[in-house]
Amino acid sequence: MRPTEKLAVSAVCFDLDGTLLDTVPLIVASHQFALADFPHLSTDTPYLISTIGLPLEAVYNEKLLGSGARNLMNRFIDHNIAHTQTHIAVFRGIVPMLEQLRATGIPLGVVTAKRRDQAIMALDLFDMMPYFDVVLGREDSSRHKPDPEPLKEALRRLQIEDSRQLLYVGDSIYDLMAANNLGSYSAAVAWSQTSREALLEQNPTLWLEQAHDLPAKIRPV
């Protein structure tokens, strides 16, 4: 669905990894580091990319249970934090787009499966925190994307009652599924490492070829 008229929205929330920030190569490298001592587990890059958008507990609990999974998560987090300052970037056009949206008065948020402190650390590297009214990480909800609970929590904190007027922008099928499950608007980004076909199968409300496309497609309620 690609509306010809501007969408009236009460808030815009963004996924972080692969949507606002180019973190996917580091995420893949951190998984490969965590799994280096487990040759029977897949470190195939396309597979690892397909798990982005899920919390670490979901990724590693499918492989190992108990303390083994916890050790893998700790290895991933340690590697990821150690390399965040040198191995991530902002996607082109993101900051000007956020500046335009802030000028409209539309509340903005980040809803990520990343741990909140890691998300804030990454945003702070590029002085992006002032653009956002809320930043939610995986510890802020008991269920996670594609369940809509993280988006519901963002709406609660933004004091917005009508979930249909939320736009959630993401790069993974889990982002779009969460928005669909909530009954809100969704936008898929063309700079995703997920295939266009897989994203379009989720019937996003908007398709964004470039970040600067978004402000022209929406307006405040």
If one counts the domains in the chain, the total is 2
CA atoms of 118 and 97, how far apart (whole Å): 23
Paired residues of 11 in beta bridges: 166
Whether residue 106 is found in the same domain as residue 80: no
Position 163 in a domain: yes
Whether residue 75 is found in the same domain as residue 149: no
Whether residue 121 is found in the same domain as residue 194: yes
Whether residue 116 is found in the same domain as residue 43: no
Instruction: Return the pLDDT at 110.
Output: 98
Paired residues of 89 in beta bridges: 22
3-state secondary structure of 195: coil
Whether residue 94 is found in the same domain as residue 41: no
**pLDDT tens track for 121-151:** 999 999 999 999 999 999 999 999 999 999 9
Whether residue 50 is found in the same domain as residue 153: no
Instruction: Return the pLDDT at 38.
Output: 80
> Among 48, 67, 87, which residue terminates a domain?
87
Whether residue 68 is found in the same domain as residue 170: no
Position 28 in a domain: yes
Domain of 152: which CATH number? 3.40.50.1000
Position 2 in a domain: no
Domain of 38: which CATH number? 1.10.150
Among 87, 54, 100, CA closest to 210: 100
CB 156 within 8 A of CB 212: no
Residue 81 belongs to domain spanning: 24-87
CA atoms in the 13 A half-sphere facing the CB of 53 = 26
Identify which has the larger pLDDT, 62 or 5.
Answer: 5
Say whether pLDDT at 47 is over 50.
yes
Q: Token pair for residue 45?
A: 């890059």
Say whether pLDDT at 66 is over 90.
no
Position 1 in a domain: no
Identify which has the larger pLDDT, 132 or 36.
Answer: 132
Instruction: Return the pLDDT at 3.
Output: 55
Position 209 in a domain: yes
Whether residue 181 is found in the same domain as residue 202: yes
3-state secondary structure of 206: strand
CA atoms in the 13 A half-sphere facing the CB of 104 = 21
Whether residue 97 is found in the same domain as residue 160: yes
Position 107 in a domain: yes
Sign of CA dihedral 176, 126, 209, 154: positive
Total residues belonging to the chain: 221
pTM of the model: 0.93
Identify which has the larger pLDDT, 65 or 55.
Answer: 55
Secondary structure of 143-192 as H, E, C letters: CCCCCCHHHHHHHHHHCCCCHHHEEEEECCHHHHHHHHHHCCEEEEECCC
Position 17 in a domain: yes
Paired residues of 208 in beta bridges: 189
Instruction: Return the pLDDT at 1.
Output: 47
> Among 63, 87, 111, which residue terminates a domain?
87
Whether residue 48 is found in the same domain as residue 148: no
**pLDDT tens track for 147-188:** 999 999 999 999 999 999 999 999 999 999 999 999 999 999
Whether residue 132 is found in the same domain as residue 110: yes
Position 16 in a domain: yes
Which residues neighbour 78 within 8 Å (Cβ) at sequence distance 6 or greater? Answer: none
> Among 55, 71, 87, which residue terminates a domain?
87
Whether residue 46 is found in the same domain as residue 101: no
Share of the chain above pLDDT 70, in %: 95
Give 215's pLDDT tier (boundaries 50, 70, 90): very high
Say whether pLDDT at 105 is over 90.
yes
